[in-house]
Amino acid sequence: MNILYDERLDGALPKVDKAALLAEMRAALPDLEILHEAEDLRPYECDGLSAYRSTPMLVVLPEHVEQVQTLLRLCHRMQVPVVARGAGTGLSGGALPLEQGVLLVMARFKRILEVNPEGRYARVQPGVRNLAISLAAAPHGLYYAPDPSSQIACSIGGNVAENAGGVHCLKYGLTVHNLLKVDIITVDGERLTLGSDALDSPGFDLLALFTGSEGMLGVVVEVTVKLLPKPQVAKVLMASFDDVEKAGRAVGDIIAEGIIPGGLEMMDNLSIRAAEDFIHAGYPVDAAAILLCELDGVESDVHEDCELVDAVLRKAGATDVRLARDEDERARFWAGRKNAFPAVGRISPDYYCMDGTIPRRELPRVLNGIAELSEEHGLRVANVFHAGDGNMHPLILFDANVPGELERAEALGGKILELCVAVGGSITGEHGVGREKINQMCAQFNAEELTLFHAVKAAFDPQGLLNPGKNIPTLHRCAEFGAMHIHHGQLPFPELERF
């Protein structure tokens, strides 16, 4: 799969004199590692969304905050765009570089500065891996809750930029809910602290505004995350269904019982079979859908909830409900789910991963809608998702070598996201907008809302030098893309009537 980067996006940016920039940079930052030869730049052409590629003009790898400040001041003075990059695991092209810009790689900021068990927080540099924080906190019985599937590789700075989620965010929240403070460098090189050690901070909530802003408002140089006590016990139930809609309804039934599971995940038959072939998780390959429901907390509580959820699932029409009998089986049940994406990669030359969210009650209708759209476009769709919080990851299977399939996959993806918006959901749950979904933002928001986004962006970065062409589309772009705006599902959506 290979969609070239859309040059129109940075058409408005000034041309940069690479030689002059390089000379100034070397003079101002003699110790900074700078990559500028073609072969050195290649590894940085894309992030986790390899469909979009672009060669950065320069790649810089600073090691000290002062270098980041000097670099940003220099780029600001010379009007050079800057794209920050963490571990490069993002799935929406948020760290896609610019040919006329500097790629600022924060991977060397790897130090854990403080783990404070009494204050229940950890203070870390942005390049620290998500999982490394939990490992450092483990001796104190604590952990960092958000757990994106890439947690072994992704960095906390990128998690902040994308407001990353994970399997457990229904109960424990997204990144934004697990932060105390973020230190940033602004476009003109100032260091600012957003948030505080206290629960609330006076003035406007710039910490929440910054979280998920996809590198458009500043560069993260330090993060203070909340740590939580590890649950005493965690149990997983796996329920099989002969019908996808029934599984969808069961999700609502569990929540309606007043239970908030640690994780509540759904997979359809295509995903089940792919995962089972790959991982041998013990999934029922004939089931139309399975639900995985994790319950965590203190022993007695978890035991009680397991019984209750078991009953709810059976009442909702589950053909079988199994409690993972030990830690091994529990780990295997999760391994199947967490490897569902690569598993699907084994049964199709290419796949396109969507990330829509919908109100939970719309699950059955949207699943039906996706099935119809899939048939219409002649492409298979594997459904894997965080059912509890309505965050869907439909995977569109296609072969880029078959003429027309790539275009059909893109068209189908667009239709699925429009369906999500039409039922009151959104075009991204946890992967971010990045470069990938920038057109769909025109469907999600109206002109007034986009104008407000641009005004907020200008408050931080008036010249638009930080990660231009991502996250927030220009009104011009939306006009070109066509009049597909649906205002939070309140305006008529022609497709919707059918489902």
For the segment 173-192, give every residue that binds its own copies (CB under 8 A): 174, 176-177, 186, 190, 192
Q: Which residues pair with 344 in a beta bridge?
A: none
- Find the part of the chain contacting its own copies (CB under 8 A) among 42-50, 124-132, 314-322, 424-432: 424-432
The residues in 110-129 that bind its own copies, with binding defined as CB under 8 A, are 117-120
Taking phi over 0 as left and psi of -120 to 50 as alpha, with beta for the rest, 422 belongs to alpha
List the one residue from 24, 73, 100, 201 that touches its own copies (CB under 8 A): 201
How many chain residues interact with its own copies (CB under 8 A)?
A: 78
Least Cβ distance, residue 162 to its own copies (angstroms) = 10
- Find the part of the chain contacting its own copies (CB under 8 A) among 126-134, 275-283, 285-293, 388-396: 388-396
The residues in 234-293 that bind its own copies, with binding defined as CB under 8 A, are 252, 255-256, 258
The residues in 139-168 that bind its own copies, with binding defined as CB under 8 A, are 141, 163, 165
The residues in 51-110 that bind its own copies, with binding defined as CB under 8 A, are none
Residue 462 CB-density burial (10 A; 0-12 exposed, 13-18 middle, 19+ buried): exposed
Number of H-type helices and E-type strands within the chain:
17, 20
List the one residue from 205, 310, 410, 495 that touches its own copies (CB under 8 A): 205
Least Cβ distance, residue 88 to its own copies (angstroms) = 21
Residue 203 or 404: the one with the smaller Cβ distance to its own copies is 203
Note whether 307 binds its own copies by CB under 8 A: no
- Of 83, 86, 59, 96, the closest CA to residue 175 belongs to 86
Walk across the sheet containing 179-185 and list its strands: 112-116, 121-124, 219-226, 179-185, 191-195
Of all helices (H) and strands (E), which one includes residue 444?
A: helix 441-444
- Find the part of the chain contacting its own copies (CB under 8 A) among 58-66, 102-110, 346-354, 428-436: 428-436
Residue pair 466/215 in contact (Cβ under 8 Å)? The answer is yes
Q: Show Cβ contacts of residue 336 under 8 Å, excluding neighbours closer than 6 positions.
A: 267, 275, 276, 279, 281, 282, 283, 343
Note whether 492 binds its own copies by CB under 8 A: no
What are the percentages of helix, strand and coil residues in the chain, rounded to 5? 40, 20, 40
- Per the structure block, which two tokens stand in for 376? 């219409």
Residue 39 or 118: the one with the smaller Cβ distance to its own copies is 118
How far is C-alpha 127 from the geometric centre of its chain's CA atoms?
17
The residues in 340-359 that bind its own copies, with binding defined as CB under 8 A, are 357-359
Least Cβ distance, residue 244 to its own copies (angstroms) = 19
Upper half-sphere CA count for residue 257 (Cβ side, 13 Å): 21
The residues in 429-488 that bind its own copies, with binding defined as CB under 8 A, are 429-430, 432-433, 437, 441, 444-445, 448-449, 452-453, 455-460, 471-472, 487-488
